[in-house]
Amino acid sequence: MKKIRVGVVGTGHLGNYHLQKYQKLANCEVIGVVDVVKESALLAAEKYDCDAMFDHRDLAGKVDAVSIAVPTGSHHKIAKDFLESGVDVLLEKPMTATLKEADELVAISDEKGAILQIGFIERFNPAIVALEKVTRAPLFIEAHRLHPFGSRGTDVDVILDLMIHDLDIILHFVKSPVMDVEAVGVSVLSNKVDIANARITFESGCVANITASRITNKKMQKIRFFGVEGYHSVDYGKRELISLGRKSVSEGGIEIVRNNVEVKKEDPLEEEVISFLDSVTRRAPPLVSGNDGRESLKLALHIIEKMKIGIQ
């Protein structure tokens, strides 16, 4: 089978992780890396035995697929250039800075028949994959994504930096239109919102309470689902799932039992890259589509607007 020729645009923290995963896979070949910081591109090229480039357009005609891991403000321009050339794209979250940009990328992807997958890594977290087997119609969801402060990601609010991961997961499981949003956020260490809380009510009756922070001492990434079928708690970082259900016992009583759900030992980013390459090979829709990325962005931007109203 012919190997898929891939390139990675952006050789920072995430870009290097993408390169690591591609290099491990037998069905692809890393052709080149791109970064406007020449030293970074050269270092990555030497490490991964590929060509160094300093303009993403230099990859044109040389690759079948790319990962884009650059600051959000550059997502639209770079992804657009590749999609218009028929190159398949794995685009890191958040998809774009605006809904108009997101809509344009989806339209170009559809027109050109190019794969557009959005990099929501938690969809490939084995605990989330296992959760699919036990939850049906959640009624209440509580999520906490708390990180220590770092300069990476501060080009956007914490909603687009961190909370959007949980928004994508919640939209994926609830599958109901949003009815109401309440939100509050505070800038603490950067000139963007660093800690935020959102309460989302869906037409189905489900309510989600979400907190995201990048100013805590220690890291916590957890989400809990409550529904008529039971309680399910996911620790994203540990890739663990605790799932409790209920069963009837004698004389009409109810007993709480732990569901026996297998959580596989898999690396989420590696699974994300494998899934992307599978879509590229089979010309099949990606697991996390451009439309998925657009809907999560829409909700994130709505939360940001609600916070602005609260501040006024």
Give the per-residue pLDDT at 158: 93
Residues 28 and 159 reside in one and the same domain: no
Residues 220 and 256 reside in one and the same domain: yes
Give the per-residue pLDDT at 154: 67
Burial pattern 211-245, b for ≥16 Cβ within 10 A else e, equals bbbbbeeeeebbbbbbbebbbbbbbbeebebebee
Residue of 14, 4, 21 whose CA lies nearest to 35 = 14
Distance of alpha carbon 208 from alpha carbon 193, whole angstroms: 20
Residues 91 and 164 reside in one and the same domain: no
Residues 250 and 161 reside in one and the same domain: yes
Residue ranges of alpha helices (H) inside the chain are 13-24, 38-48, 75-84, 99-112, 126-131, 158, 164-174, 268-282, 290-311
Give the per-residue pLDDT at 150: 74
Domain coverage including residue 78: 4-121+269-289
Residues 11 and 117 reside in one and the same domain: yes
Give the per-residue pLDDT at 256: 85
Residues 276 and 262 reside in one and the same domain: no
Count of domains for the chain:
2
Give the per-residue pLDDT at 152: 61
Which helix (H) or strand (E) segment holds residue 145: the answer is strand 140-146
In this prediction, the residues of the chain whose per-residue pLDDT falls under 70 are 1, 151-154, 310-312
Residues 154 and 26 reside in one and the same domain: no
Residue of 268, 267, 272, 273 whose CA lies nearest to 6 = 273
Tokens of 248: 């009837």
Prediction pTM value: 0.94
pLDDT digits (tens, 9 = 90+) for 148-207: 887 665 678 999 999 999 999 999 999 999 999 999 999 888 788 899 999 999 999 999
Q: Is 167 strand, coil or helix?
A: helix
Q: What is the CATH number of the domain that holds 244?
A: 3.30.360.10
Give the per-residue pLDDT at 255: 83
* Residue found under tokens 């609600």: 306
Q: What is the CATH number of the domain that holds 98?
A: 3.40.50.720
119 strand-pairing partners: 92
